Amino acid sequence: MNKTDLIEHIAHNADISKAAAARTLDATIAAVKSTLKKGGTISLVGFGTFSVNKRAARTGRNPRTGEAVEIKAAKVPKFTAGKALKDALN
Q: 12-58 pLDDT, tens per residue?
A: 999 999 999 999 999 999 999 999 999 999 999 999 999 999 999 99
3 state SS of 42: strand
> 9 φ, ψ to 5°?
-65, -45
- What confidence score (pLDDT) does residue 72 get? 96
- Compute how many other C-beta atoms are within 10 angstroms of the C-beta atom of residue 60: 10
Mean pLDDT over 64-77 rounds to 95
- What pTM was estimated for this model as a whole? 0.78
Give me the numbers of helices (H) and strands (E) for the chain, helices first please. Answer: 3, 5
Check: CB of residue 53 under 8 Å from CB of residue 75: yes
User: What own/partner pairs with CB < 8 Å and gap ≥ 24 does 35-39 have?
Assistant: 36/77
